[in-house]
């Protein structure tokens, strides 16, 4: 498994023959790459003027074209009404089971095309670090002689990379857009702030195998979306922590340029389809570094805590009102825990999987906190990231619950504030020379 999801690997710096023709007389892979780039030049000059490491114009175009034959581009009026009514009902049911107020100020019924358009800005934030890391790292890895010989070709390489990434992103967005049920379905706040968005056509397809009334499934999905929106709207640090963890993962990427040489031998410049085939080959599979593994662990824990909280409060809100609530909750747990083709595509695209692997453990922990300390204490933990349970707490929920009981039951942030005050007071009491030493 290679170290980078897009398939570019670092060269061996100890290879004395790097950048030269091989002793067996075979053509230098970099010469092959140069020939390929030259033949692609005319095609690229006609491409979109989109700048940056990813051609997002191309990504959007590909996604829209692929979705055109699958799902209509306009949600019917009755779909908008059904979504609005379902979210309104779900909000009323959620009010008694959480202290967090409604977070969505608008409700939308989106098509898959709408989802692509409204989530693309967030995808740009998530994909840019990956592409920039790759583009900069492999150019820096080239020996000075190769850089001098490449000259203007480097800009062409960047354009080729932007097109390749754009193509891959477009296909991934099309697949995700045809499967997601809501804008928060994969656990990240992808859409505009305070906007609850459901995809009625996808929900209808999802309902076919459940043997439950469509209206019941719609309300259940709406309750999950509304619960997510409450967290993202009223927990100021949560959005940045989730997206920041993905960015941190991307920044830890190690690039191996040797796969670029292999790419040059696999691509037929006369057949653009071979570019996509090469980008979808095994060379794209990432290998996580220790730094990435740590970022991934933090992301998985936070995703589990979010999904576990949503699972719990939605269950409390709908179980006595929807006959199939328990079956629907179990279906969603399995769907989120196992992932599907769309999430596998995302894993190839960004290099990680968005699976809350500890979802059941997180739900059980939130349930234990609720039973022993009440929903005010439970929801109060979201006030500050330092109050949140850790991965170790998911392993030992009783210990965490007992520690939580040592603080005032109606104010879980009180102990954190007292600790911060004590630290500030201790710092103020330090001699000036100690403070100076701390700054060094």
Q: Which residues of the chain have pLDDT under 70?
A: 1-51, 69-74, 134-159, 161, 253-288, 339-353, 407-423, 425-440
Given this model, what pLDDT does residue 163 score?
Answer: 81
Given this model, what pLDDT does residue 32 score?
Answer: 55
2 in helix, strand or coil? coil
Q: What is the mean pLDDT of the chain?
A: 78
Q: Which of 4, 29, 31, 19 is nearest to 161 (CA)?
A: 4
Is the Cβ–Cβ distance between 292 and 253 less than 8 Å?
Answer: yes
Given this model, what pLDDT does residue 279 score?
Answer: 58
Place of tokens 């009981």: 405
Given this model, what pLDDT does residue 93 score?
Answer: 98
Given this model, what pLDDT does residue 4 score?
Answer: 40
- Name 168's bridge partners: none
Residues in the chain: 440
Task: State the Cα torsion 251-57-243-5 to the nearest 10°.
Answer: -40
Is the Cβ–Cβ distance between 183 and 107 less than 8 Å?
Answer: no
Tokens of 42: 């005319």
Give CA–CA dist 301/307, Å, rounded.
10
Given this model, what pLDDT does residue 297 score?
Answer: 85
Q: Which of 171, 306, 297, 183 is nearest to 237 (CA)?
A: 306
Other C-beta atoms closer than 10 Å to the C-beta of 278 total 20
Given this model, what pLDDT does residue 153 score?
Answer: 62
Is the Cβ–Cβ distance between 38 and 32 less than 8 Å?
Answer: no
- Name 198's bridge partners: 109, 182
Q: Which of 56, 50, 53 is nearest to 119 (CA)?
A: 56
145 in helix, strand or coil? helix
Given this model, what pLDDT does residue 322 score?
Answer: 96
Give CA–CA dist 274/162, Å, rounded.
16
Give CA–CA dist 147/128, Å, rounded.
24
Task: State the Cα torsion 257-258-262-267 to the nearest 10°.
Answer: 10
User: What DSSP letter does each residue of 232-298 carry, written as one string?
Assistant: HHH-TTHHHHHHHHHHHHHHT---EEHHHHHHHHH--TT-THHHHHHHTSGGG-----HHHHHHHHH
Task: Quote the DSSP letter at residue 106.
Answer: E
Q: Which of 165, 188, 181, 204 is nearest to 76 (CA)?
A: 204
User: What DSSP letter does each residue of 399-437 carry, written as one string?
Assistant: HHHHHHTTS-TT-TTHHHHHHHHHHHHHHHHS-HHHHHH
H-helix segments, 319-389: 325-338, 341-350, 359-373, 375-380
pLDDT digits (tens, 9 = 90+) for 135-156: 665 566 566 666 666 666 666 6
H or E stretch covering 68:
helix 56-68
Rounded to 10 deg, the angle between the 238-251 and 290-318 helix axes is: 150
Task: Give the predicted TM-score (pTM) of the model.
Answer: 0.76
């Amino acid at each position: 498994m290679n170290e980078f999801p897009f398939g570019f690997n670092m060269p061996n710096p100890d290879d004395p023959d790097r950048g030269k023709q091989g002793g067996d007389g075979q053509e230098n892979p970099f010469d092959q790459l140069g020939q390929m780039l030259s033949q692609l030049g005319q095609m690229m000059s006609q491409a979109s003027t989109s700048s940056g490491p990813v051609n997002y114009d191309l990504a959007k175009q590909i996604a829209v074209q692929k979705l055109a034959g699958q799902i209509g581009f306009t949600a019917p009026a009755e779909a908008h009404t059904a979504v609005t009514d379902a979210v309104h009902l779900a909000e009323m049911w959620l009010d008694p089971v959480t202290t967090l107020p409604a977070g969505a100020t608008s409700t939308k019924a989106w098509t898959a095309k709408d989802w692509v358009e409204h989530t693309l800005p967030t995808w740009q934030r998530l994909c840019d670090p990956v592409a920039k890391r790759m583009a900069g790292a492999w150019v820096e890895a080239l020996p000075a002689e190769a850089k001098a010989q490449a000259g203007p070709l480097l800009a062409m390489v960047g354009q080729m990379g932007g097109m390749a990434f754009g193509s891959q992103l477009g296909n991934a967005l099309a697949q995700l857009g045809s499967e997601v049920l809501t804008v928060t379905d994969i656990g990240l706040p992808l859409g505009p702030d305070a906007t609850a968005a459901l995809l009625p056509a996808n929900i209808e397809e999802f309902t076919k195998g459940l043997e439950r009334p469509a209206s019941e499934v719609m309300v259940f999905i709406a309750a999950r979306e509304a619960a997510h929106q409450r967290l993202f709207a009223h927990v100021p640090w949560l959005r940045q922590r989730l997206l920041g963890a993905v960015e941190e993962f991307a920044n830890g990427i190690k690039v191996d340029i040797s796969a670029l040489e292999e790419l040059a031998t696999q691509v037929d410049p006369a057949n653009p389809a071979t570019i996509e085939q090469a980008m979808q080959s095994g060379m794209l599979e990432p290998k996580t570094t220790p730094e990435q593994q740590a970022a991934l662990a933090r992301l998985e824990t936070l995703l589990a805590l979010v999904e576990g909280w949503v699972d719990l409060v939605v269950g409390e809100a709908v179980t006595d009102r929807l006959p199939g609530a328990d079956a629907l909750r179990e279906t969603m747990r399995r769907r989120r825990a196992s992932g599907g083709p769309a999430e596998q595509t995302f894993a190839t695209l960004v290099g990680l999987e968005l699976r809350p692997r500890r979802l059941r453990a997180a739900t059980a922990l939130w349930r234990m906190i609720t039973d022993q300390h009440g929903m005010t204490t439970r929801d109060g933990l979201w006030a500050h990231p330092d109050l949140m349970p850790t991965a170790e707490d998911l392993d030992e929920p009783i210990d965490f619950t007992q520690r939580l009981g040592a603080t005032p039951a109606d104010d879980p942030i009180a102990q954190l504030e007292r600790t911060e005050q004590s630290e500030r007071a201790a710092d103020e009491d330090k001699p000036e020379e100690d403070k100076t030493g701390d700054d060094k």
